[in-house]
Amino acid sequence: MRMSDQPAYEVLALRYATTDLHRPRRENFFPGMDLHDGEMPLDYYVWAVRGEGRCLLVDTGFGEEAAQTRNRILLHHPADLLRQAGIDPETITDVILTHLHYDHAGNLDRFPKARFHLQESEMRFATGRHMCHSCLRAPFECRDVTEAVKIVFDGRMVFHDGDAEIFPGIEVFRMGGHSDGLQVVRVATARGKVLLASDAFHFNENRTRRAPFPIVYHVGEMLEGFIRCEELVGGDADLLIPGHDPDVRLRWPILSADLPDVVRLDLHPLKRTLKK
Ligand SMILES: [Zn+2]
Ligand SMILES: [Zn+2]
């Protein structure tokens, strides 16, 4: 039972894309931190938060063009998948961008009326001197960053500098690490406060083994971020939602039988997390 004055949102993870099933495990860990052979495919999600009279989106995914150039498998356009889940993209008032990488911040023009929430340090990172280096700019698309700048000039960007409460029960926390301004999102639900970790850790295994994903701006901040994410959920690993782990889709209940790519994170997982 929840106190009636506590907000409780429905939280959906929507898997819109995936990689080749044969992606090698070593591509998901810092060099030298995984010596096993084997395959470890990666899924791409956006997240929706609804309830308390509002509907928010966390990240906007990529579209057909990025899927082709980066050789990813687009299962659904994120906007179409939202519609299938009963959410009209036009009705989304607020979009939280966890960071500006291509798989999180494409399709921005599909939300022409929404306000966007971004860490100030992420915009500085994505438009500053570090983008002179190809290895740091590789996960960004100039097109997406340019769209984000247009949103600033359109008066629809809300910058956060560190931690902030966006609405009652919806908070952001700057983690950095993976990208300079990476933020995670904590949402109050009937089962507790769920943490959408985005790329603070791609897979649970990155966090549990303290073995960072190899796309990283500041390794120390990423490692500290694992600990901070755990603290933000009081150590309950079932409240931690990794950004790209196929396990998310398999562990949480589906929204409806005809939509197996959309799961309810505000409900308890179907089995307990084994590794804390
Ligand atoms: Zn990323
Ligand atoms: Zn990502």
Which CATH number belongs to the domain containing residue 106 in this structure? 3.60.15.10
Alpha-carbon span 82 to 255, nearest angstrom: 12
**Quick check: is 234 in a domain?**
no
**Quick check: is 275 in a domain?**
no
**Quick check: is 189 in a domain?**
no
The Å distance, Cα 17 to ligand 1 centre, comes to: 14
**Quick check: is 90 in a domain?**
yes
The Å distance, Cα 244 to ligand 2 centre, comes to: 7
The Å distance, Cα 101 to ligand 1 centre, comes to: 5
From first to last of its 276 residues, what are the pLDDT tens digits of the chain? 445 578 999 999 999 999 988 999 999 999 888 778 899 999 999 999 999 999 999 999 999 999 999 999 999 999 999 999 999 999 999 999 999 999 999 999 999 999 999 999 999 999 999 999 999 999 999 999 999 999 999 999 999 999 999 999 999 999 999 999 999 999 999 999 999 999 999 999 999 999 999 999 999 999 999 999 999 999 999 999 999 999 999 999 999 999 999 999 999 999 755 554
Q: What percent of the chain has pLDDT over 70?
A: 97
Pick the ligand that lies closest to the CA of residue 42.
Answer: 2
| Whole-prediction pTM | 0.96
Domain that holds residue 128: 3-171+247-264
**Quick check: is 176 in a domain?**
no
Confirm if 262 and 82 have CB atoms less than 8 A apart.
no
**Quick check: is 136 in a domain?**
yes
**Quick check: is 162 in a domain?**
yes
The Å distance, Cα 25 to ligand 1 centre, comes to: 18
**Quick check: is 144 in a domain?**
yes
Pick the ligand that lies closest to the CA of residue 61.
Answer: 2
The Å distance, Cα 65 to ligand 2 centre, comes to: 17
What is the count of structural domains for the chain?
A: 1
Q: How many residues are given for the chain?
A: 276
